[in-house]
Amino acid sequence: MKFSFGILLCIPLLLWTIFRTVNCITFSIDCGQHMKRAAHANSVEMAQKEMVYVVKYCEDHRLTEGTVSIILHQPKNDVGFWYNNMKACLAELDTIINSKDTSTTEASRLSKWNSCTAKTNALMKLRETLVAHGEKGDRTVCPNGITIYPNNVIYCIWGIIGLILLIPSVYLICRAIDEL
């Protein structure tokens, strides 16, 4: 009986872990991988297509404002700044794609060169915005906890309750094993 009740008390923390993992994987597939694809795109058009998807995902999942922090509101956890960066990248890509060059032959040749330079610069800037280089390799730049935003408070309370219930759970399981 003690063993069963101890196991039962572990369920909230187990479910919390499962839901956090699923949210992390889902965000990675639905947004993070598209950010990486945009950062590694070889053409402005490919990058723009991926960024449209990222911005739409952010808007559909209410990732447009606020902060992922619960107690300490640090600038690195500002969802609004992160979203506005994504939107600014998309706007810059849109501007490059929609610009039209109509001029004489020599001016056209120079415009193509300037256009190519602008595209290369935009792709480099996009990569610097979306990807950070660290000791463990490249990673997408996102606020910590974005995978569960805007439900960070609920997950925090759920995790704390799960950890608190883990203490009597371990005690009950250990007592049940000692009685065997």
In the chain, where the domains are located: 2-179
Tens digit of pLDDT for each residue in 74-99? 888 999 999 999 999 999 999 988 87
How far apart CA 180 and CA 153 sit, in angstroms, is: 41
Helix (H, G, I), strand (E, B) or coil at 140: strand
Q: Alpha helix locations (H) across the chain?
A: 2-27, 33-39, 44-60, 79-98, 105-130, 152-179
pTM: 0.82
Within 13 Å and on the Cβ side, how many CA atoms surround 78?
9
Residue 66, both tokens: 């606020």
Tens digit of pLDDT for each residue in 139-167? 889 998 999 999 999 999 999 999 999 99
Cβ within 8 Å of residue 141, ≥6 positions away: 82, 129, 130, 131, 132
pLDDT at residue 113, rounded to an integer: 52
**Is the pLDDT score of 103 beyond 60?**
no
Mean pLDDT of 42-64: 95
Closest CA to 35 of 22, 52, 20: 52
pLDDT tier at 112, thresholds 50, 70, 90: low
